[in-house]
Chain A
Amino acid sequence: MTNKPALVWDIEIRIFHWLLLAFVVGAWMTVEMGPPSLLGLHEVLGFGIGAMLIFRLFWGLFGSWHQRFASFVRGPVSVLSHLKSLLTGKPQRFIGHNPAGGVMIVALLLVLLGVVASGIATMGGFDKAGPLAPYLTFAQGRQAKEIHELLVNILLVLAGLHVAGVIVESVFLKENLIRSMIHGRKEAHPDFIAPPGPPPVARPGLAAVLASLVVASLGSAMFYSSLKPALGVPMLGHNPQYVKECGACHTPHHPSLLPASSWKLVMAGLSDHFGDDASLTEGNRQEIETWLVKATELGWDTKAGQRIPATLKPADPMRITASTFWERRHRKIPEPVFKSKLVGGKANCQACHVDAVRGGFSPLGIAIPEEIK
């Protein structure tokens, strides 16, 4: 037995490890600290993590020996005996992952897979975008969001344990495991415990081809699916008469933002309309009211269409901006921003939401006009 350092982590797994860390940290920061419009970047990073996980799966089947699940996934007995060896001060030394580390790798990969899947489901149901938008309701999207957040919390705990484990092993074994994940080598030791059996031949080429095939076909299926109309977002033609008459003083509010009963109240009181005079000829008034009521009857399973009508104040049934949902989402915006010349008032949704007229209110399309900040 020589003391020559052995290459344990090949270049693929090292790139995977650090890239994955960067993507996960990036994805976490975009939603925790960024403006809502960074959700787009968050989603791109999430799909990237998904693709990396698929590559990791195939490396775990066909890659070099220490990367294969077969080499490091052990039963609970080996895990316990390894943890005990740490406590007795005579730690078992493994070339690849130790049994506890192996459990952690599997747990991290599985939880991450769950985070990505629930993220795509959140995007689909909650934001009506991406490959699952044609299949998930808003209520399902909300549930997916809760699962997504729960799994992220579990991931953070696991990541903390993973780092703690690496530090503990490094101290007990007097070997810098973090450096190993950079240059790939570990000092050879006479008491190394090698994985069972003779190491099979590494087939990185096969792994790469299979992973690429799966990523490419899954990717194109998702792309195709994301082009389909989202579930519960009906096609509503542009109504030039509505935009002209009800868009003269403020953003023409999308019909999905109020229930039919509220629209009828609005249309019955146009001559004293929030202190303004918005009266119309009787013909115009009736045409617009009919269109509004029909449009609400199409059923809108969007975030705004579900949450705003459901949280209106009974005393203020015509005020979109008095709904609890609206108030909560905008409470961080200071009053002077709404009063500024570029926005003008709360009813000018379009000043900050590019897709307000279509009723989209996608987080990707939110921007408070530059000049105000």
Chain B
Amino acid sequence: MKIRLALAAACMMALSAQAIANPQRTAILDRFAAEAKQQDKAFSAFSAERGKALFMDKHTGGKPEFPACASCHTSDPKSSGQTKAGKEIPPMAVSKTPTRFTDPAEVEKWFGRNCNQVLGRDCTASEKGDFITFLISQ
């Protein structure tokens, strides 16, 4: 019985580790980390907490139509969102959509568009890293 449980736990850990430890995603995070350190000497590590706040909180500065990232991605990262034009957006949580944050051009493009829409400015490298770290934890 104990052995079975341990095996099941090991399998699950292996699965989630596979979802998380994706070399492209790691490279993207590493690049954001390097940039963040350049911008702010005090930077130590990304925080899922801060990422969660960025995802959920209502912001000002952007378009009143989209006060939060959750406006399109919904406040549950594990469920599907909807674009302004009405198409489904697959969940942002890496556990649900394993291909999330693996294509550097896609990541740059959407951070560029969406931070501008919601915050009215570009996101900083540490905000981007926090955001991804939060969604890896989901």
Minimum distance in angstroms from A272 CB to a CB of chain B = 10
- The interface bits of chain B over 56-81 (1 if a CB of A lies within 8 angstroms of the residue's CB, else 0) are 00000001010000000000000000
Minimum distance in angstroms from B105 CB to a CB of chain A = 8
Q: A277-B116, A278-B113 are in contact. Are A348 and B87 (CB under 8 A)?
A: yes
Beta-carbon contact of B87 and A344 below 8 Å: yes
Q: In whole angstroms, how far apart are the Cα atoms of A345 and B65 in the complex?
A: 16
Beta-carbon contact of A277 and B85 below 8 Å: no
The count of chain B contact residues (Cβ–Cβ below 8 Å) is 16
Residues on A with beta carbons closer than 8 Å to the beta carbon of B112: 279
Minimum distance in angstroms from B25 CB to a CB of chain A = 19
In the complex, whether A29 has a CB less than 8 A from a CB of chain B is no
Beta-carbon contact of A344 and B83 below 8 Å: yes
The count of chain A contact residues (Cβ–Cβ below 8 Å) is 20
Q: In whole angstroms, how far apart are the Cα atoms of A339 and B85 in the complex?
A: 10
Interface residues of B (CB under 8 A from A): 63, 65, 82-88, 105, 109, 112-114, 116-117
* Chain B CB within 10 Å, residue with most, of A277, A280, A338, A339: A277
Residues on B with beta carbons closer than 8 Å to the beta carbon of A339: 86
Interface class of chain A by DSSP: loop
* Chain B CB within 10 Å, residue with most, of A249, A250, A347: A249
Q: In whole angstroms, how far apart are the Cα atoms of A251 and B82 in the complex?
A: 13
- The interface bits of chain A over 245-280 (1 if a CB of B lies within 8 angstroms of the residue's CB, else 0) are 000111100000000000000000000001111111
Residues on A with beta carbons closer than 8 Å to the beta carbon of B88: 344
Minimum distance in angstroms from B72 CB to a CB of chain A = 10
Beta-carbon contact of A345 and B85 below 8 Å: yes
In the complex, residue of chain A having the shortest beta-carbon distance to the beta carbon of B83: A249
In the complex, residue of chain B having the shortest beta-carbon distance to the beta carbon of A350: B87
Partner of A248 from B65, B83, B105, B116 at Cβ < 8 Å: B83
Minimum distance in angstroms from B71 CB to a CB of chain A = 12
Residues on B with beta carbons closer than 8 Å to the beta carbon of A345: 84-87
Beta-carbon contact of A344 and B113 below 8 Å: no
Beta-carbon contact of A344 and B86 below 8 Å: yes
- The interface bits of chain A over 192-212 (1 if a CB of B lies within 8 angstroms of the residue's CB, else 0) are 000000000000000000000
Minimum distance in angstroms from A350 CB to a CB of chain B = 9
In the complex, residue of chain B having the shortest beta-carbon distance to the beta carbon of A340: B86
Beta-carbon contact of A249 and B84 below 8 Å: yes
Beta-carbon contact of B86 and A348 below 8 Å: yes
In the complex, whether A117 has a CB less than 8 A from a CB of chain B is no
Partner of B85 from A276, A279, A341 at Cβ < 8 Å: A276
In the complex, whether A343 has a CB less than 8 A from a CB of chain B is yes
Beta-carbon contact of B85 and A250 below 8 Å: yes
Minimum distance in angstroms from B135 CB to a CB of chain A = 18
Residues on A with beta carbons closer than 8 Å to the beta carbon of B113: 277-279
Beta-carbon contact of A277 and B87 below 8 Å: no
Q: A275-B65, A279-B112, A280-B109 are in contact. Are A249 and B85 (CB under 8 A)?
A: yes
Beta-carbon contact of A250 and B109 below 8 Å: no
Minimum distance in angstroms from B52 CB to a CB of chain A = 24
In the complex, residue of chain A having the shortest beta-carbon distance to the beta carbon of B86: A344
Residues on A with beta carbons closer than 8 Å to the beta carbon of B117: 276-277
